Structure 1
Amino acid sequence: MILVRNLRLLLNGSKRLLGLSVLVLLVACTPKVRVLRAPGDKAPTEKKETTTEKEDVAIPEEEETVDFNRIALLLPFELNKANQHAPSAADIKRSALALDFYQGFKVGLDALSAEGANFKLNVLDTRDDPGENARIAKLDDVQDAALVVGPVYPKEIQVFGFNAQLDQTLQISPLAASMPSEFNFSNLVTMTAPLPVHVHALATHIANQYKQGDVVIFYKTPDEASKQLLGPLQTEIRKLKNGNIQVVEVEDEESLESRVHLAGKNLVVLATTNKYEISPILAQLRRLQEELSYNIQLFGHPSWSKLGFDAEDGLAAFDTRITTSYYIDKSATDVRRFDQQYQSEFGIAPTEFAYKGYDAAYYFGSLLVKYGPDYRLHLEDTGYKGLHNTFKWEYNAAWGYVNHAIAILQYGSSGFRPIN
């Protein structure tokens, strides 16, 4: 657990080393919680509580309101593995995801604090360890929280949720794209849309693009990413049009050339995430379109946004489209403002985890401020378009709230950008 008030974790080069050293020291020596306050509020005088005080002193009514704004943030810093006196590059790398998310989260709460809100943020190191998650699940810092954000890894989510049994307190899964039915916690909130949500969105988009005379071509490759996407996608497409879509499967250059249509559009779905597999297939598609005049539109895997394509790959010529549950518009005013603030405060540019942290803090913090104890009742009717994430929740009594906000990205001269 660490103090978070006014903590500056500087995380690049020597600044990263300094930030991690401070963090290790705080975790080791400071098990108290501070309040994030609006600018201008006077800092309370620190006082170590005694057992008698905890039992006998009445809590003022206004303090109860603040107490409801307790947030537990559970992240895998793995500081137990770090050298407390001289953190190494390996220590920094191991903690980077958690540090970036935490810093973005802090900026989000600071933005609400500037508007007059108050929060008590308790940060706990889950250590990426099931045993540690089982232990901290029972702590008062978790059990008394109004909102729990984390853990982030599937094995941690499972162990923590089973042991915490929070019921009415929401447990936010901020990063894992796992299907929430793997956990079956009715209070779980899955921020990152799982693959079945992408499948439905992509199937709907392809079905809307399809016209009589077109053909949908599934290019099968042996990797796991392809298998996980193509099978469910084919089933979903057939359901949407009651089987009235022509769908074929190909596995190599020869079978592709035998199944493409000269009349109509060839809607090719390629779901591998292996660039070595993708490159020769793209070369073949370019030849079919440029030399033989086949009309081809390409659909890829959501992970393509991170594969670093360039103009020579030719994705723009196919109007290549993918699904995504997040997108950062670096030209947007709010994003630029956040980038400048983050750079100024922490000395480095924000990563995607910092953006995710900000959106989580600002969205759920806003719900706490506006609705208090009833905040969980307003997820489905309170959408959000943030710096990085868009939220549109659907609730299932067995596995909680799942984000169904999916955008379609199309590849152009500046990479993948939203079309809707």
Structure 2
Amino acid sequence: MSGNKWFMFVLAALIIGACSPKVRTVPTSTVKAETEKPVVKQDNAEKPPVKTPEAKASAISLVLPLNLDHAAAGQNYTVANLKAANMSADYYQGFKLGLDSAAAEGANFKLQVFDSKGDAAQAHSLGLNPQVKNAELIVGPVFPDDVKAFTDMLKTARKPIVSPLSPAAPATFKNQNLITITPPLEYHAISAATYIAKSLKPQKVFILTSGFSEERLYTSPFKRTIDSLSKRKIQVITIAVVRGNLTPLARQLNNKVQNVFVVPSTKQAFLMVTLRSLDTLSIKYPVTVFGHPNWEKFAFLKASLLQKLNTYITSSDKVNYKSSETNTFLRSYRRTYRTEPTDFAIKGFDQGLYFGQLLADGEDMNKPDLKDFTGLHNSLHFVKKPGLGWINTHVDILKYQNFDLKKVQ
């Protein structure tokens, strides 16, 4: 592993297991010899302190694409395998630290780590492994193909299975035990539509598409939500934009109110041309833009232009590095692992702490409602869908202000 990823730490963890808190050895009592005289207790003798029995360890199976075969002598990691292994190591370290935090109040956990190798066949095999499926909680696999192969083996078992990182739609897996942590794209569209309908209240919304069918994953739930909330009083106009030509829209725009444009594309060439056209349009008409959640990751999109266009995006990945809770975590992580946490480590911490607390409280994770949770990386608000399991629907609304993204809801 490169840098300070502490991959040997993970290797050691796989060998010796991970328990939070550490397993304590309880000494066995000595049997008295037959000739031993009984000890007569004095009335005024001090009674020994009563020891609180140790809490039963809750078993957790963590299934990650560590790709340990490539760590053996004479083997090499590919770029993709190394990236997955780094991600897994970071997530494991954060998850373990979250469990340690939950264990600080007396809970006890047995953390079992399994290597899915980023391979569907291996994930399928792990789904049959009694040690994996008999745990109180299963976290992983990570990649959608692996999740499907794994969950296909556990459709009848009433075991909660956490999909920790993938935003894939739960309909892909159709497993009633699945807990989807990362909100799928549908819920980003719903959150954007809700904010527009309730806060901006425009007369019209223009959806600018590039023509790719994948954009319907965003536009369909967006339009359904707008129509439902506004009772069709907000007109939704969809137009496929060619080479940034927005001239056909000119007659429908209003220079006295904000004209709201939704751009669900993630294609660089399309976005560069279309956003420049919106910039030109903004000289005459007030413009507000709602973009795809992945825009935050695109270096080619300049904050100055997005701010000028009054741009909003949705996000489930925003960490407030100024909060006291985040800084407490950062200090603890640096002290424990001697390295900086990545986003995957922070997600792991949130999830380790959340599920550790649920297990410690004896929470029934098969009931319709799971507790809400405010984490460092994202908050959790679950909705139970028949046949699809629990889905986290919490999405933040962010706006470009002062050349940065600020949370507005």
- TM-score normalised by length of structure 1: 0.82
Question: Is 2:286 aligned against 1:295?
Answer: yes
Amino acid at match of 2:380: F
Q: CA deviation at 1:264?
A: 2.6
Cα pair 1:216 1:269 within 8 Å, conserved? yes
Q: Secondary structure at the match of 2:146?
A: helix
Amino acid at match of 1:398: G
What is the distance in 2 between the residues matched to 1:114 and 1:215? Answer: 53
- Unpaired runs of 5+ residues, structure 1, are 1-10, 46-60
Q: CA deviation at 1:412?
A: 1.3
Deviations 1:335-376 (A, max 9, x none): 1121222233323321111111111110010011012xx431
What is the distance in 1 between the residues matched to 2:220 and 2:11? Answer: 46
Q: CA deviation at 1:180?
A: 1.0
Aligned to 1:271: 264
What is the distance in 2 between the residues matched to 1:302 and 1:317? Answer: 18
Aligned to 1:7: none
Aligned to 1:253: 246
Aligned to 1:401: 390
* Match 2:374 to one of 379, 385, 409: 385
After the TM superposition, which of the residue ranges 128-137 and 336-345 deviates more from structure 2?
A: 336-345
CA gap of 1:283–1:312, structure 2 versus 1, over 3 A, is: farther
What is the distance in 2 between the residues matched to 1:418 and 1:211? Answer: 19
Cα pair 1:324 1:409 within 8 Å, conserved? yes
Cα pair 2:306 2:400 within 8 Å, conserved? yes
CA gap of 1:120–1:275, structure 2 versus 1, over 3 A, is: same
Cα pair 1:394 1:402 within 8 Å, conserved? yes
Q: Secondary structure at the match of 1:207?
A: helix
What is the distance in 2 between the residues matched to 1:395 and 1:365? Answer: 20
Cα pair 2:383 2:390 within 8 Å, conserved? yes
Aligned to 2:274: 281
Deviations 1:17-37 (A, max 9, x none): xx335645765xx3x545321
Amino acid at match of 2:307: A
Aligned to 1:36: 20
Q: CA deviation at 1:88?
A: 5.3
What is the distance in 2 between the residues matched to 1:92 and 1:43? Answer: 38
- Unpaired runs of 5+ residues, structure 2, are 28-51
Q: CA deviation at 1:280?
A: 2.6
Q: CA deviation at 1:267?
A: 0.5
What is the distance in 1 between the residues matched to 2:56 and 2:133? Answer: 16
Cα pair 1:78 1:125 within 8 Å, conserved? yes
What is the distance in 2 between the residues matched to 1:129 and 1:86? Answer: 17
Question: Is 2:165 aligned against 1:175?
Answer: yes
Amino acid at match of 1:20: F
Q: How many residues align?
A: 380
What is the distance in 2 between the residues matched to 1:158 and 1:279? Answer: 36
What is the distance in 1 between the residues matched to 2:24 and 2:403? Answer: 48
Deviations 1:193-245 (A, max 9, x none): 11222222211111124546x32111111345534322332233223222211
* Match 2:221 to one of 223, 232, 248: 232
Q: CA deviation at 1:190?
A: 0.6
CA gap of 1:85–1:106, structure 2 versus 1, over 3 A, is: farther
Q: CA deviation at 1:319?
A: 2.6
* Match 1:329 to one of 296, 306, 320: 320
Q: Larger Rg: 1 or 2?
A: 2
Cα pair 1:177 1:194 within 8 Å, conserved? yes
Aligned to 1:357: 348
CA gap of 1:339–1:256, structure 2 versus 1, over 3 A, is: farther
What is the distance in 1 between the residues matched to 2:330 and 2:252? Answer: 48
What is the distance in 1 between the residues matched to 2:321 and 2:287? Answer: 30
Q: CA deviation at 1:322?
A: 1.5
Aligned to 1:52: none
Counterparts of residues 141-156 of structure 1 (less than 5 Å) = 141-156=131-146
CA gap of 1:340–1:276, structure 2 versus 1, over 3 A, is: farther
Identity %: 28
What is the distance in 2 between the residues matched to 1:23 and 1:111? Answer: 19
After the TM superposition, which of the residue ranges 408-417 and 388-397 deviates more from structure 2?
A: 408-417
What is the distance in 2 between the residues matched to 1:89 and 1:415? Answer: 35
What is the distance in 2 between the residues matched to 1:183 and 1:134? Answer: 13
Q: CA deviation at 1:108?
A: 0.5
What is the distance in 2 between the residues matched to 1:414 and 1:166? Answer: 50
Q: Secondary structure at the match of 1:375?
A: coil
Q: CA deviation at 1:85?
A: 6.2
Question: Is 2:152 aligned against 1:162?
Answer: yes
What is the distance in 1 between the residues matched to 2:223 and 2:18? Answer: 52
CA gap of 1:395–1:207, structure 2 versus 1, over 3 A, is: same
